[in-house]
Amino acid sequence: MDKVIIDGAIVDNLWRRLEGESLENALPEGKIIVPLAYWQANRDTLIARGEVAVWLAPGEEPRDLEDDLQQLPLIAIHFPAFKDGRGYSYARELRTRYGFKGEIRATGDVLRDQLFYLQRCGFNAFEIRSDRSIEDALAGLKDFTVSYQGDVMDPRPIYRRA
Amino acid sequence: MYVYQEHDQRLLEERVAQYRDQTRRYLAGELSEDEFLALRLQNGLYVQRYAPMMRIAVPYGLLSSAQLRRLAHITRTYDKGFCHVSTRQNIQLNWPALEDVPDILAELAEVQMHGIQTSGNCIRNTTTDELAGVNPKEIEDPRPWCEIIRQWSTFNPEFAYLPRKFKIAVNAVPDEDPAIIGVHDIGVQIVHNDAGETGFEVWAGGGLGRTPMTGAVIGEFVPWQHLLSYLEAILRVYNKYGNRDNKYKARIKILVKALGADKYRELVAEEFAELKDGPMTLTDEEVQRIKQCFTAPAYNSSADNSELEAQLADNKAFNRWYHTNTHAHKEAGYRAVTLTLKKTSRVPGDITHDQLDAVADLADQYSFGEIRNSHQQNMVLADVANSDLFTLWQKLDALGFATPNLGLLTDMVCCPGGDLCALANAKSIPIAESIQHRFSDLDYLHDLGTLDLNISGCMNACGHHHIGHIGILGVDKKGKEFYQITLGGRGDQFTRVGEKLGPSFEADEVTDVIQKIIDLYVEKRHENEPFIDTYERIGMDTFKERIYG
Ligand code: HEM
Ligand code: SF4
């Protein structure tokens, strides 16, 4: 089974992210992460099915899920390219504006050297790009031991910490 | 200046370790070109025409003598013995080896320096008036606010992968714009309200590059407690909505223009409403702590200026230098001194390793051990006692840093251009050199008076050509180097983008054209009228007629 980093540990990936053709046929068994548009079009059926989460592409904002957050155990934010930094703001917004407590997972072009910042913005799960070592990537969560700003893990900037 | 505490130092050391490992992985083939690119840029490393270039951050232009000596050592050990003062008050190395950069960063970290966010699509070095803290016209010292912004922007996790680079400048002088905040992504103007409380007028959406424009006021009076929350709100809107498909349309200026300043303001207000009074709110203790790092040095000068007056009366060259290259100071009995890095035959802004050492010694002897870089690619000793000026002048003259041309035509701003930069359309250094030679007569130069001449080798505008009274821009026409001239730009009291004179010129024509422009000015000027005022009075058409007629 694929692996994923969740809360700092490498574990089995129980969720499957669906896109494109895989949505045209019957949905597979098990835990699935569907695109926002698919969720919006099939909300009731999906809620009845259960074990469903939603993923956001760049340009799709947390606001679009505002009324659904209670239903969702997990929201994935997809990075088609690691340089597209919109997802950092989306994750932070999910945590601090909407108080989302479920899993926020980074998918796509997710690499070791971005993990530290992603984690600070509220991501707690990372699907590392499949051609890279997930064990190696884990080290990226510990690049720094100190930060000036507050963040999702500790909202206090350095000048408010004891 | 800001003195690092244990946590600041630790952060820097962890950064060096991180980058060392990233370089190792890149060299081992574990990181692709593209992946490493984003990482090395955020540590200041470009790969250019002949070699990598490395930009070293100088927060708001301020350096200690120990830092300057370390830069001397680095240029000597890892480069060809010289470096370059950039228009964003940073230092640039031209020939470091990629493999050496982790060691260079480790050496820099020992003196609290780094290349963090000097390049890449992130928040860059915050800049300000090079006379900050001593400028008698400022309403308060902008440096504590710059430092507060520096800490907030350093490794800010949300804004490391912005659509494009992001530059912030801070100004504390009313009615003048020594930090050219009008052409920054965010410009912060320090203001006081009627109750005397500090706040900020916040501009957004200025920038040079290929679509130059001045910013719009987004926040009219942001109380000091909320500075960071407000900046964060502006950045968040930009991070979410800035164009990411076309890098030429990715700067915040394009977004502000496309949405309109009112809409942008509304979006910022929405984000700000959530952040305001939250944990980012600045505390009085923190602001005081930072301010403590920028207190005045132990000034101690005699009120007696008779010696200086005698020296000024006796020595014409000293007198000229004094009036051209030194500035009024907040403290009686002191002047701020600009070291002009613009001697004829010197690449504007270049300085060698032994000169860096010498300037460090002069700073220790005459200016409390501090040096500043200016955005006009000069250096400044900001706290020199009147009684030391004559000796300092002699020593600077021996080093070639006392050319009395500050603010004059040969105090040109010039980017590295085609000699070093891979993006260039044309060379810029030989053009600067040719103009320097033509206008080397000091009496003539002084007669011409204040004149900003800026040269960029392509429309990226690193030499700020848009805001030169005379701007020169390298363009490519069918593979040949040509130069387009603009007139009427301003980066002095306020910012204005210059207008094109007309069709471009070949390299060997440029100096003659500049001469014709100058001749026309001399013919038409009123008594004591600076070039820019004559230009604004007589208009572009008169110049066009003279040049192309
Ligand atoms: C040789 C290596 C360099 C490269 C490849 C480079 C590249 C660029 C590019 C691509 C831009 C345009 C950015 C945009 O419009 O989005 C730019 C702008 C700029 N660069 Fe450079 N640059 C270099 C060196 C320098 C140096 C040495 C300086 C200082 C002398 C400098 C100062 C600036 C400034 C002030 C801007 C204008 C910012 C604005 O658009 O508002 N650059 N540079
Ligand atoms: S203006 Fe153009 S030529 Fe000059 S340094 Fe910038 S990118 Fe290079």
| Atom of ligand 1 at shortest range from CA of B185 | 41
Distance, in Å, from the CA atom of A8 to the CA atom of A140, rounded to the nearest integer, reads: 10
DSSP B493-515: SSEE--EE-SS-EEHHHHHHHHH
Task: HSE, CB side, 13 Å, CA atoms: give it for residue B60.
Answer: 28
pLDDT under 50: residue ranges of chain A? none
Q: Please tell me whether residue B291 adopts helix, strand or coil conformation.
A: helix
Nearest by Cα to B183 from B213, B139, B157 = B213
Res. B304: pLDDT tops 90: no
Beta-strand relationship, B480-487 and B453-456: unpaired
C-alpha distances (whole Å) from A94 to each of A32, A52, A110 are 20, 18, 19
- pTM equals 0.95
Tell me, yes or no, whether A23 lies in a domain. no
Task: HSE, CB side, 13 Å, CA atoms: give it for residue B23.
Answer: 20
- With beta carbons less than 8 A apart as the criterion, state whether B495 and B467 touch: yes
Q: pLDDT, tens digit, for every residue of B376-401?
A: 999 999 999 999 999 999 999 999 99
Beta-strand relationship, B350-352 and B82-85: antiparallel
| Atom of ligand 2 at shortest range from CA of B463 | 1
pLDDT, residue B280, reads: 96
Tell me, yes or no, whether A13 lies in a domain. yes
Residue B473 CB: number of other CB atoms within 10 A? 26
Find the CB nearest B158 among A83, A89, A155: A89
pLDDT, residue B533, reads: 97
| Atom of ligand 2 at shortest range from CA of B456 | 1
Structural domains of chain A, count: 1
Chain A / chain B CB contacts < 8 angstroms:
96
Res. B210: pLDDT tops 90: no
CA-based nearest distance A114→chain B, Å: 9
Tell me, yes or no, whether A24 lies in a domain. no
Q: How many helices, marked H, and strands, marked E, lie in chain A?
A: 5, 8
pLDDT confidence bin for B323, thresholds 50/70/90: very high
Residue with tokens 């155990």: A73
Residue with tokens 């008594």: B527
pLDDT, residue B494, reads: 79
Please give the distance of CA B536 from its chain centroid, rounded to a whole number: 26
Q: pLDDT, tens digit, for every residue of B16-64?
A: 999 999 999 999 999 999 999 999 999 999 887 777 899 999 999 999 9
For residue B40, give the H/E element and its range: helix B33-41
In chain A, residues with a C-beta closer than 8 Å to the C-beta of B274 are: 96-97
- With beta carbons less than 8 A apart as the criterion, state whether A26 and A54 touch: no
What is this model's ipTM? 0.97
Residue in A with minimal Cα distance to B29: A132
Contact A82 B236 (CB under 8 A): no
Nearest by Cα to B305 from B327, B326, B332 = B332
The angle formed by the CA atoms of residues B81, B423 and B503, to the nearest 5 degrees, is 115
C-alpha distances (whole Å) from A140 to each of A110, A134, B15, B86, B205 are 11, 10, 12, 33, 34
Residue in B with minimal Cα distance to A58: B240
- Enumerate domains of chain B plus CATH numbers: 6-53+66-109 (no CATH), 127-293 (3.30.413.10), 313-399 (3.90.480.20), 413-548 (3.30.413.10)
Average pLDDT for chain B: 95
Tell me, yes or no, whether A14 lies in a domain. yes
What is the extent of the structural domain holding A155? Answer: 3-18+29-160
Contact A155 B289 (CB under 8 A): no
B207 DSSP 8-state letter? B
C-alpha distances (whole Å) from A49 to each of A32, A34, B188, B191 are 10, 13, 53, 59
| Interval B230-259 mean pLDDT | 97
Contact A82 B161 (CB under 8 A): yes
Q: What is the CATH number of the domain that holds A53?
A: 3.20.20.70
- With beta carbons less than 8 A apart as the criterion, state whether B255 and B298 touch: no
Does B96 contact ligand 2 (Cβ within 6 A)? no
Residue B33 CB: number of other CB atoms within 10 A? 8
Distance, in Å, from the CA atom of A20 to the CA atom of A18, rounded to the nearest integer, reads: 7
pLDDT confidence bin for B296, thresholds 50/70/90: very high
Residue with tokens 């946590």: B7
Task: HSE, CB side, 13 Å, CA atoms: give it for residue B450.
Answer: 13
The reply to whether B279 touches chain A by the CB within 8 Å rule is yes
The beta-strand segments (E) located in B350-469 are 350-352, 370-373, 379-385, 413-414, 453-456
CA-based nearest distance B260→chain A, Å: 20
Res. B301: pLDDT tops 90: no
Per cent of chain B over pLDDT 70 is 100
Distance, in Å, from the CA atom of B153 to the CA atom of B188, rounded to the nearest integer, reads: 15
Tell me, yes or no, whether A48 lies in a domain. yes
In chain A, residues with a C-beta closer than 8 Å to the C-beta of B14 are: 143-146
- With beta carbons less than 8 A apart as the criterion, state whether A117 and B157 touch: yes
pLDDT confidence bin for B249, thresholds 50/70/90: very high
Question: Phi and psi for B394 in degrees, rounded to 5?
Answer: -60, -40
The angle formed by the CA atoms of residues B471, B474 and B476, to the nearest 5 degrees, is 145
B213 DSSP 8-state letter? B
Structure token digits, residue B17:
């370790």
| Atom of ligand 2 at shortest range from CA of B474 | 3
In chain A, residues with a C-beta closer than 8 Å to the C-beta of B7 are: 146, 158
Q: How far is the CA of B423 from the centre of ligand 2 (A)?
A: 6
Contact B278 A151 (CB under 8 A): no
In chain A, residues with a C-beta closer than 8 Å to the C-beta of B31 are: 113
- With beta carbons less than 8 A apart as the criterion, state whether B332 and B416 touch: no
Nearest by Cα to B490 from B221, B220, B214 = B214
Q: Please tell me whether residue B457 adopts helix, strand or coil conformation.
A: coil
Distance, in Å, from the CA atom of B531 to the CA atom of B518, rounded to the nearest integer, reads: 8
Tell me, yes or no, whether A51 lies in a domain. yes
Nearest by Cα to A121 from A96, A156, A146 = A96
Q: How many helices, marked H, and strands, marked E, lie in chain B?
A: 18, 23
| Interval B471-500 mean pLDDT | 93
